[in-house]
Amino acid sequence: MRLVLFEPDIPQNAGTLMRLCACFGVAMDIVEPCGFVLSDKNLKRAGMDYLEHLDLTKHLNWEAFKAAHTDKRLVLLTTKAASPYINFEFQPDDVLIAGRESAGVPEHVHAECDARLLIPMKPGLRSINVALASAMVLGEALRQTKGFPT
Q: Which of 12-16, 35-39, 67-71, 132-136 has the lowest mean pLDDT?
A: 35-39
**What is the reported pLDDT for 7?**
97
Provide DSSP, 87-138: G----TT-EEEE-BTTTB--HHHHHH-SEEEE----TT-----HHHHHHHHH
Kindly indicate the confidence band of residue 37, based on its pLDDT and cuts at 50, 70 and 90: confident
2-145 — its CATH code? 3.40.1280.10
Q: Is the pLDDT of residue 45 over 80?
A: no
The residue type found at 96 is: L
pLDDT tens, residue by residue, 79-128: 999 999 999 999 999 999 999 998 999 999 999 999 999 999 999 998 99
CA pair distance 85, 77, nearest whole angstrom: 8
Mean pLDDT, residues 131-137: 97
CA pair distance 144, 137, nearest whole angstrom: 11
Mean pLDDT, residues 58-78: 96
* Arithmetic mean of pLDDT over the chain: 93
For the chain, give every domain's residue range.
2-145
Mean pLDDT, residues 120-139: 95
CA triple 39-43-46, angle to 5 deg: 145
